[in-house]
């Protein structure tokens, strides 16, 4: 498949009218997640993409645990698990020898129901999200490009170029710019995108190959000036190969897989036999972050807001979580249930995540591509062995897993995070931990990630009754007085949840408010003053 190839055009859904609540620009993973989350919350959503149909390029490959947790709430995790392959481990090779094996299959045991990284191509992720959106009664309007935007205090007038070449005007209350690295929403709002390109050029190839690679593991071949990664894909001997184009070939415009194959064979050793290559693409990566994530009624998310090296398989996942962060807030504002101050917290929470990601992927990338002899020696002789050894320790394994899986991301400094508990307890701004508890006296143990839905807030009271006088928040809040005893005590001790305590969990699974003694006033004032609910 050539870069840019797409499925046969799909008949576009009819416009609901010249007006919509949210115009989502771009039907990559970020836009599809955004449209799904808005649609299930009953928000009128128009999702457009300038391409003629879904992309069939694999591109991003690693689906992190935090994304799978969101997929579970969306009702699509079974499909992702059916189509993907859990990465069991990483084998690190240098100079024809296997230096270390890092077990990954259970790295996050106890942290999440999905304690691994799932290998599933971006095209499959997009297909899963697109199918779900159709089930929810919406679809992408393909061959439709955003070309102009005019903002006023009460809405956005967007000019779209239609499949027949004509332009059409749509009035939207808000615009979600999920339109990738060259984002029109970002440009049209004059949002800067500072950063720089790297000199290195990546290549990606889908190949049938046999060789020293350990089946079902990620195989990392380190060489003095770079690396080659083999990711196991669905099917027999099917690998996704990612690597650095040798410096001498960097400026060639017409590269094919045959040009880079000799360098791959040189590194992956004798015995590597490549049967066929079904997709080959090169790309130069940049590290950039938008100077603002919001301009009036327009937002930027995903690659439109931040791009970085693919080290750590974070790109697609970060975009999906941008959308998950913004969607519930925007839905409340559009429905008239919260003031617009709530949506300011999207940038306040997601910009620090993007900036930290840029820093860590930049450091990691520079190290793995540094041409210096010292870095080459470190990479091929020292680091692999040290990493392999360190990862034998559970504490190191867990810390690494929390970072890479994005389950460790927190919003402790967010304006939405309020309340205190002892330092070793989960804090406001943390992702509420994965727990199995008895919620009803005498009832069965429940998996809280399955029981606590993501369409409302959940107030959990531990070691104390729910307070009298809690206002009725209707469908917005569910309350749970968690009984003490046996299995619950042990699970809460493991998670370092003190008693008495309480946690108010946001729809996206993060703790908004927490504390020791629960009273109706603090919950009421959190909803009114911190969340700006009406
Ligand atoms: C070759 C390649 C390999 C990659 N490999 C990896 C990897 O291994 N790991 C990783 O984490 N990441 C990888 N990435 C990056 C990853 O693909 C992105 O992070 C991810 O696609 C971001 O998703 P998105 O939805 O934010 O943007 P995109 O996927 O770029 O989607 C944006 C969409 O917006 C549409 N659009 C743009 N402008 C307009 C407009 N004006 N009007 C209407 N529609 C518009 C586009 O057609 C596109 O469909 C790779 C990228 C490339 C190019």
Number of Cβ within 10 Å of residue 485's Cβ equals 10
Among the listed residues 293, 527, 286, 312, the one whose alpha carbon sits nearest the alpha carbon of residue 409? 312
Sequential DSSP letters for 49-99:
-SSSS-B------EEPHHHHHHHHHHT-HHHHHHHSEE--EEEEEETTEEE
Question: Cα separation of 433 and 421, whole Å?
Answer: 15
Span from the CA of 29 to the centroid of ligand 1 (angstroms)? 8
Span from the CA of 362 to the centroid of ligand 1 (angstroms)? 19
**pLDDT score of 228:** 87
Span from the CA of 28 to the centroid of ligand 1 (angstroms)? 6
What residue's CA is closest to ligand 1, atom 14? 60
Question: Which of 303, 318, 365 for mutating ligand 1's site (highest number of atoms within 8 Å of CB)?
Answer: 303
Span from the CA of 48 to the centroid of ligand 1 (angstroms)? 14
**pLDDT score of 17:** 56
402 lines ligand 1 (CB under 6 A): no
Residue 91, CA atoms < 13 Å, CB-side half-sphere: 16
**pLDDT score of 102:** 84
What ranges in 278-432 are assigned the alpha helix state H?
A: 315-334, 341-369, 373-377, 384-390, 394-404
Low-confidence ranges of the chain (pLDDT < 70): 1-18, 225, 267-270, 367-384, 388, 390-391
**pLDDT score of 374:** 67
Q: Where are the beta strands (DSSP E) in 379-497?
A: 436-438, 445-447, 457-462, 477-482
Atom index in ligand 1 nearest the CA of residue 281 equals 1
143 lines ligand 1 (CB under 6 A): no
Provide the 3-class DSSP secondary structure of residue 377. helix
**pLDDT score of 348:** 98
179 lines ligand 1 (CB under 6 A): yes
Span from the CA of 126 to the centroid of ligand 1 (angstroms)? 11
313 lines ligand 1 (CB under 6 A): yes
Span from the CA of 316 to the centroid of ligand 1 (angstroms)? 8
Span from the CA of 301 to the centroid of ligand 1 (angstroms)? 11
146 lines ligand 1 (CB under 6 A): yes
Contact 57, 1 (CB under 8 A): yes
Span from the CA of 261 to the centroid of ligand 1 (angstroms)? 26
Strand order in the sheet with 238-244: 97-103, 89-94, 218-223, 226-232, 238-244, 195-210, 273-289, 306-307
Helix axes 65-74, 315-334, angle to 10 degrees: 40
What residue's CA is closest to ligand 1, atom 6? 60
Question: Cα separation of 307 and 180, whole Å?
Answer: 9
**pLDDT score of 269:** 65
Provide the 3-class DSSP secondary structure of residue 217. coil
**pLDDT score of 55:** 86
Question: Cα separation of 66 and 316, whole Å?
Answer: 12
186 lines ligand 1 (CB under 6 A): no
Question: Cα separation of 420 and 108, whole Å?
Answer: 27
41 lines ligand 1 (CB under 6 A): no
406 lines ligand 1 (CB under 6 A): no
Span from the CA of 319 to the centroid of ligand 1 (angstroms)? 10
Among the listed residues 77, 57, 85, 96, the one whose alpha carbon sits nearest the alpha carbon of residue 236? 85
Q: What is the pLDDT of residues 262-310, one digit of tens each?
A: 888 876 665 788 889 998 999 888 899 999 999 999 999 999 999 988 7
What ranges in 183-228 are assigned the alpha helix state H?
A: 184-188
Atom index in ligand 1 nearest the CA of residue 318 equals 19
Residue 488, CA atoms < 13 Å, CB-side half-sphere: 22
Span from the CA of 530 to the centroid of ligand 1 (angstroms)? 34
DSSP character for 13? Answer: P
């Amino acid at each position: 498949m050539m870069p840019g190839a797409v499925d046969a055009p799909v008949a576009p859904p009819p416009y609901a009218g010249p007006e919509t609540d949210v115009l989502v620009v771009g039907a990559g993973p970020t836009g599809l997640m955004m449209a799904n989350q808005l649609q299930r919350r009953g928000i009128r959503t128009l999702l457009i993409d300038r391409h003629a149909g879904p992309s069939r390029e694999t591109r991003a490959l690693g689906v992190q645990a935090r994304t799978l947790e969101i997929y579970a709430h969306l009702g699509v995790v079974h499909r992702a698990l059916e189509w993907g392959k859990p990465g069991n481990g990483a084998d690190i090779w240098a100079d024809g020898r296997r230096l270390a094996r890092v077990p990954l299959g259970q790295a996050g045991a106890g942290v999440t129901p999905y304690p691994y990284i799932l290998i599933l191509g971006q095209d499959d992720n997009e297909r899963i999200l697109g199918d779900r959106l159709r089930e929810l009664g919406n679809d992408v309007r393909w061959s439709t490009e955003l070309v102009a935007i005019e903002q006023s205090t009460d809405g956005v007038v967007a000019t779209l170029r239609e499949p027949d070449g004509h332009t059409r005007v749509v009035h939207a209350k808000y615009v979600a710019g999920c339109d990738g690295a060259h984002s029109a929403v970002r440009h049209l709002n004059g949002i800067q995108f500072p950063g720089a390109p790297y000199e290195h050029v990546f290549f990606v190839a889908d190949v049938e190959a046999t060789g020293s690679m350990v089946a079902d593991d990620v195989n990392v071949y380190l060489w003095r000036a770079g690396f080659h990664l083999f990711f196991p894909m669905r099917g027999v001997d099917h690998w996704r190969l990612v690597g650095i184009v040798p410096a001498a070939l960097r400026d060639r415009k017409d590269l094919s897989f045959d040009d880079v194959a000799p360098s791959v064979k040189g590194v992956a050793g004798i015995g590597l036999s490549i049967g066929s290559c079904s997709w080959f693409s090169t790309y130069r990566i940049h590290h950039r972050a938008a100077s603002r994530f919001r301009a009036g009624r327009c937002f930027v998310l995903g690659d439109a807001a931040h791009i970085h090296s693919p080290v750590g398989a974070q790109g697609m996942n970060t975009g999906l979580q941008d959308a998950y962060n913004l969607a519930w807030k925007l839905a409340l504002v559009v429905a008239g249930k919260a003031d617009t101050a709530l949506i300011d917290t999207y940038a306040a929470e997601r910009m620090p995540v993007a900036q930290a990601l840029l820093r860590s992927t930049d450091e990691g990338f520079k190290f793995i591509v540094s041409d210096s002899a010292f870095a080459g020696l470190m990479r091929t002789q020292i680091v692999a062995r040290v990493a392999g050894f360190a990862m034998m320790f559970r504490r190191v394994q867990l810390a690494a897993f929390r970072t890479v899986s994005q389950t460790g991301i927190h919003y402790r400094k967010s304006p939405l995070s309020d309340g205190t508990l002892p330092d070793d307890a989960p804090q406001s701004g943390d992702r509420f931990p994965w727990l199995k508890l008895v919620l009803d006296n005498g009832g069965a143990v429940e998996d809280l990630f399955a029981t606590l839905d993501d369409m409302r807030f959940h107030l959990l009271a531990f070691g104390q009754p729910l307070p009298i006088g809690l206002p009725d928040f209707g469908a917005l809040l569910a309350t749970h007085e968690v009984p003490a005893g046996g299995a619950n005590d042990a699970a809460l001790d493991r998670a370092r949840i003190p008693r008495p305590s309480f946690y108010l969990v946001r729809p996206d699974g993060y703790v908004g408010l927490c504390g020791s003694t629960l009273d109706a006033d603090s919950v009421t004032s959190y909803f009114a003053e911190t969340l700006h609910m009406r």
